[in-house]
Chain A
Amino acid sequence: MTSHLYRFFPVLEKREIKVNAKTVAEVLQEVNKIAPGFSDYIIDERGALRRHVNVCINDTFVVDRNTLSDCVNDGVTVFIFQALSGG
């Protein structure tokens, strides 16, 4: 995931996190158990991906930004990116 999140969740720093999940939404729920509050940074109160955040399953961007229902198969890697801009 983007290293900028480590500032808020140092427990996640330099870790390869393995979770059992069937969808991207479930992945976030599992990470949230390790780092409480984490999912609030990635999704809003409706469960939608925040505007300037993106998630990939391996090298494919998720399609369902509203509920993150995209399936994650065994062995795939989920990446979390953020847009970088401003001054």
Chain B
Amino acid sequence: MSNVILLGTRKGTVIVDLNNNAWVPRPIQHAGIPVCYAARDPRDGTLWASLDHGHWGPKLSRSRDGGETWEDVLSLKYPEGARYIVKYLPTPDFDPEAPQKQPEYKDATVYKIWTMTFGPADKPGLLYAGTIPGGLFVSEDGGDSWELNRPLWNHESRGGDLFIGEATSENKWGGTPASIDYGVFEPGIHSILIDPRDAKHLYMAASSVGVMESLDGGQTWAGRNKGMLMDYLPNPEAEWGHDPHFIAACQSQPNCIWQQNHCGVFFSEDGAQTWRKVSVLEENVHFGFPIAADQNDGHTAWVVPARADSERMTIDGGLFVARTSDGGETWQSFRKGLPQENAYDIVLRHALDVAGDCLCFGSTTGNVYLSQDRGESWICVGSNFPPIYSVRFG
């Protein structure tokens, strides 16, 4: 069992240690700075925090001494010439035909470093990061330098190679509401998966875009959204515009990939070549943000359901975790140890994690709950944290 939990919160990084069977939070680090993602690289123990400075720009922070000291990592930047086609949040005076008439280009700058994924043990130093506005960055030296993955940035679904000229295709990528805080409406990459059998086999998911796969280490990418269904665009089976909130794969059976989507929970048993919807609104498993995949059993996953879309709160005031052990055919709801009255907790996409039989999640209400029996019962680790953006076992 892991004995460390990292919390990324609106007011800093909180490291929670297991001491004598009690989970004890250390004094907050990066105090006052929003931290949208915090995690520990299992290969060398480096701690990473993605700082979402309100004033000073997004930055990575790195600790190589277990959280005693931290250093800025300022090298994740868009290269000169990186441009994208601007999206606009529809407003009453918005001309829906404007983007088709004349694409508007914008030089890319990092708004948010939304997620990080660590490479396999035999690729020391390999890191990936996903950003708003939709950049996948890779580092091969432990984060000292980063490079934008240009094949994904230049993909035909985004208008083609804008480094060399005008758009050669239409930009099909939508914006994420998570970008509105920055005064824009741009896509965001929040999930990056590496196939444990083959480090060149990658997946990424972006809000209002969908899932994409690369079989060659990121040199080429293709959409993987067959079987996905939308309920907010005219064509529910359109190739682009899907809204994965998070994707997770089983480490032992990597072809089993789970997706908590805006429009339900989806499951793939063939490495995202096809998806099928496995949630049932009537069973209260439908909307939510995070999803966790069991590390050994590809047919087991957990979600923290919420009421969509007008409320975005717990369902009927009670917080629960749902688990399936049969590939989404059926779901069990677990409530023991979780508040069942007057609970309004929302769990964001990076705020649920699993390690063996242990699960942990944190909410925007500042509560952190932990289970040591595969989600069936829960203890409260703390209830006065800042709003929580990410939870990761260390």
Contact = CB atoms under 8 A, between A and B. Distances in A.
B55 A50 contact: yes
A52 B109 contact: no
B59 interface: yes
A41 interface: yes
B interface, over-half SS: loop
A37 interface: yes
B57 A41 contact: yes
Contact of A45 (B54, B72, B110, B182): B110
A74 B55 CA distance: 29
Contact of A50 (B57, B72, B77, B107): B57
A11 interface: no
A30 B223 CA distance: 46
Contacts of A82: 55
B74 A50 contact: no
A55 B52 CA distance: 21
Contact of B56 (A41, A45, A48): A41
Interface string A40-53: 11101110101111
A40 B54 contact: no
A50 B74 CA distance: 15
Interface in B19-73: 53-57, 59, 72
Contacts of B53: 41
A52 B56 CA distance: 8
B234 interface: no
A83 interface: yes
B107 A40 contact: no
A40 B182 contact: no
Contacts of A4: 55
Contacts of A40: 56-57, 59, 72, 74
Contact of A46 (B55, B56, B72, B107): B107
Interface of A: 4-5, 8, 37, 40-42, 44-46, 48, 50-53, 82-83, 86
Q: Top 7 A-B pairs ranked by shortest CB distance?
A: A45-B77, A41-B56, A44-B109, A52-B55, A82-B55, A40-B74, A46-B107
Interface of B: 53-57, 59, 72, 74, 77-78, 107, 109-110, 182-183
24 contacts: A4-B55, A5-B56, A8-B56, A37-B72, A40-B56, A40-B59, A40-B72, A41-B53, A41-B55, A41-B56, A41-B57, A42-B56, A44-B57, A44-B109, A44-B110, A45-B78, A45-B110, A46-B107, A48-B109, A50-B57, A51-B182, A51-B183, A53-B55, A82-B55
Given A51-B183, A52-B55, 20 more contacts: A4-B55, A8-B56, A8-B72, A37-B72, A37-B74, A40-B56, A40-B59, A40-B72, A41-B55, A42-B56, A44-B109, A44-B110, A45-B77, A46-B107, A50-B55, A50-B56, A52-B54, A53-B55, A82-B55, A83-B55
